[in-house]
Amino acid sequence: MTKSADHSWTHAGHGLPDSEPSLNTTAIATGLQLPAGFAAIAGDAELGPAITTNLAKVEKKLREAIANSDPLADATSRHLVEAGGKRIRPLLTLLCAHLGDASLPAVVQAAVVVELTHLATLYHDDVMDSAPFRRGAPTAHEVWGNSVAVLTGDLIFARASILVSELGGRALGIQARTFERLCLGQLHETVGPRPDEDPIEHYLSVIADKTGSLVAASGQFGAIFSGADEAYENVLVEYGEKVGVAFQLADDVIDVTGVKVKSGKSPGTDLREGVPTLPVLLLRKAAADGDQSAVDLLKLIDGDLSSDEALAAAVAGLREHPVTAESWVVARQWANEAIEALAPLPEGVVKESLSNFALAVVDRAS
């Protein structure tokens, strides 16, 4: 059994392999780029360096948290971390911590927890969706098989649970309820809406659980572990829920309208896999209401999309149909509501950055 250098807990398999090089926080910070919407942070002489430094600490601790002395577990756990990612959730934790004292050590640990939780869900989601690529690399189940991928997700979530347990009972409760919602969201997406349930409302509830819940917890952790005013917590939870939904709705439209993106996901992937997304759900509603163009397009979408030609035709048809523009309207409405939720926060770079991020999630091509 190997003891972690940074934590009091020990458990079988954890620890850096003998060949693991030392990670330099300064070097990591130099290579970091903030995602779209956070330009105000980079331009702030005080906040910019503080956020970048803490993000580098998060990156370093992420790699330490998933390291295993067991070669297979180490390789599978590193797979997605080393593929990169925007680190949106830990960034939100670190940013919201500047509503209080962002220098407190628990802030960085909480940021690591939310990213580990996110990574764990990606392993599971890719198995559920039979996704071939994630972040430009083959998914874990494509490399090692479904069972190893699922167990790796479980292992990473276990690591997140150990870290969050050190933050206290309240953090553990938030983490547990968030993970419950993540699981319920996946379950409800898998089984679909009940016969008496509106499909669009069902889908919105699914993405609120699968995406909004963890984004909300990210901001809440930042407020809690920086000792910020308790009144800010509910503000950040509401913001996180709404901006998370806006983000996923934008992804829906990008699948139809975007060019091939860095993740390796081409336009129409969701159509081919039969994944329910807002443009298609709105198309079904339009068809049910008597829109003949929607009826005709649904015949194509519900048909055989295995050939690239058929998929391209379906994508082109949906891209041009009014439901795609309507989907953008819905996504922007959620983003605007997220911004409105920030009203009680003090004016400054934190509030400005959160607002700009909400706008950026619905103004992107990938």
Q: Kindly list the averaged pLDDT for each block of 10 residues, start to end, along the chain of length 366.
A: 39 50 54 75 87 92 86 82 84 97 96 95 79 73 78 90 96 96 93 95 97 98 97 98 96 76 63 89 96 96 93 93 96 98 97 96 77
Which residue has 């002395």 as its token pair?
69
What integer pLDDT is reported at residue 23 of this predicted model? Answer: 55
Q: Where are the beta strands (DSSP E) in the chain?
A: 2-3, 10-11, 133-134, 137-138
What integer pLDDT is reported at residue 72 of this predicted model? Answer: 83
What integer pLDDT is reported at residue 5 of this predicted model? Answer: 40
What integer pLDDT is reported at residue 8 of this predicted model? Answer: 40
Provide the whole-model pTM: 0.88
Which residue has 């409302």 as its token pair?
201
Query: 10 has which bridge partners?
Result: 3
User: Residue 201: exposed, middle, or buried by beta-carbon count in 10 A (0-12, 13-18, 19+)?
Assistant: exposed
Angle between the N-to-C axes of helices 308-320 and 292-301, in degrees from 0 to 180, rounded to the nearest 10: 150
What integer pLDDT is reported at residue 135 of this predicted model? Answer: 66
What integer pLDDT is reported at residue 264 of this predicted model? Answer: 47
What integer pLDDT is reported at residue 28 of this predicted model? Answer: 57
Calpha distance 37→26 (Å, rounded): 24
What integer pLDDT is reported at residue 256 of this predicted model? Answer: 81
Query: 134 has which bridge partners?
Result: 137
Q: Check if the beta carbon of residue 238 is closer than 8 Å to that of residue 268.
A: no
Would you tell me how many other CB atoms lie within 10 Å of the CB of residue 103? 12
What integer pLDDT is reported at residue 125 of this predicted model? Answer: 78
Report which of 162, 161, 61 is spatially closest to residue 105, judged by C-alpha positions: 61
